[in-house]
Amino acid sequence: MTSRRDFIATASLAATGFALAPLAACSQERPQGQAPVPREKPTGAIADVAPAGGALLMRAIPSTGERIAAIGVGTSGSYEVPLDSPEFAALKDVLKVFFEGGGSVIDTSPNYSNAEDVVGALLADGGWRERCFLATKLAADSRAALEAQWADSLRRLRTDRVELLQVHNLRNMGEAMPYARELKAQGVAKYIGITHYLESGHADTVRLMRAEKPDFVQINYSVNAPQAAQTVFPVAQELGIAVMVNRAFDDGKLFAATRGKDLPGWAAEVGVTSWAQMFLKFVLSHPAVTVVIPATGKPERQADNLKGGTGPLLDEAQKAELAAMFA
């Protein structure tokens, strides 16, 4: 199936320093008695784009209780760049902003051309692997192809395990999910899940959630495509399945719809200063959602996305008003 693309429109953010929110459960621990190492102050291109505000929202994974940061990173599109390109250099700053702002979840796939290579290089270059909740996917049509793909993903990601392994768009579930379970039993995948990105896949997703009871389900949800709140989310809450949300900006269509449009009058009450923050807060205001994974290749937009995971969430009236605006 066609890979999703989260294209993020221009947003600017002026900030005056780091808010060093708690990292997720995969953050590095220092040896007992060793003094903490001061974090490096951002310089150059990212000196003025570090996220400011309160601590990043944390959500628990129902199957274990492990807590992860609710704003993650998607890699479709934005991370499909040459390793020697200016875009790759910019991604180093993007991830510096992300990790220093309290983020941890990065979602990728072998289907996103060279995104796994880019993620692996970035994590190795930045020394961030142990601070990262790394998710990738299985997407192949035979057992042999699945095994080869998994080995290649580990090589490209420069790691020996992932935190989350998902069956991409429900592909070859009969072989992919049993293989994912084997890898989980071996300890090289901590959690397993399934994904889809279209409303037309919700019914099959729900059926397989009930049949397979994965740790995670990844699904599309946005202010203009909120169907998952009626289809997928109630089942996730019933079965204790973590929810990862993709396409929160509906592949950039939401930014086109807001061009020239003011934020609601109550935006300041919930700490929102951009439409990107508003769309992410809409997603996180549903209690079933564990993490949302917007993609961007620009440090200032990454800082802006992180702000969507701080401060008050939206109440039911505010969510209804937003949904009506984009219906």
CA distance 174 to 179: 9
Residue 198: phi, psi to the nearest 5?
-130, 150
**Is residue 261 classed exposed, middle or buried when 0-12, 13-18 and 19+ CB atoms within 10 A define those classes?**
exposed
Q: Give percent of the chain above pLDDT 90.
A: 83
Q: Where are the domains of the chain?
A: 53-325
The domain made up of 53-325 is a member of CATH 1.10.150.20: no
pLDDT at 185: 98
- The answer to whether residue 232 scores a pLDDT higher than 50 is yes
Residues in the chain: 327
Pairing verdict, β 105-107 and 242-246: unpaired
**90 and 83 Cβ atoms separated by less than 8 Å:** no
Confidence at 15, pLDDT banded by 50, 70, 90: very low
Position 38 scores a pLDDT of: 34
| CA–CA dist 75, 184 (Å, integer) | 23
> pLDDT tens digit string along 139-174?
999 999 999 999 999 999 999 999 999 999 999 999
Average pLDDT, the chain: 88
Helices (H), the chain: 86-100, 115-126, 143-157, 173-186, 202-212, 228-231, 233-239, 253-257, 275-284, 299-307, 316-325
In which order are the strands placed within the sheet that holds 105-107?
73-74, 105-107, 133-138, 162-167, 189-195, 216-220, 242-246, 289-292
pTM: 0.85
Tokens describing residue 241: 């399945």
Query: Is residue 6 pLDDT above 80, yes or no?
Result: no
Judged by DSSP in three states, 107 sits in strand
User: pLDDT tens for residues 73-131?
Assistant: 999 999 999 999 999 999 999 999 999 999 999 999 999 999 999 999 999 999 999 99
Cβ neighbour number for residue 10 with a 10 Å cutoff: 11
- 162: which DSSP letter? E
Answer whether 298's CB lies under 8 Å from 76's CB.
no
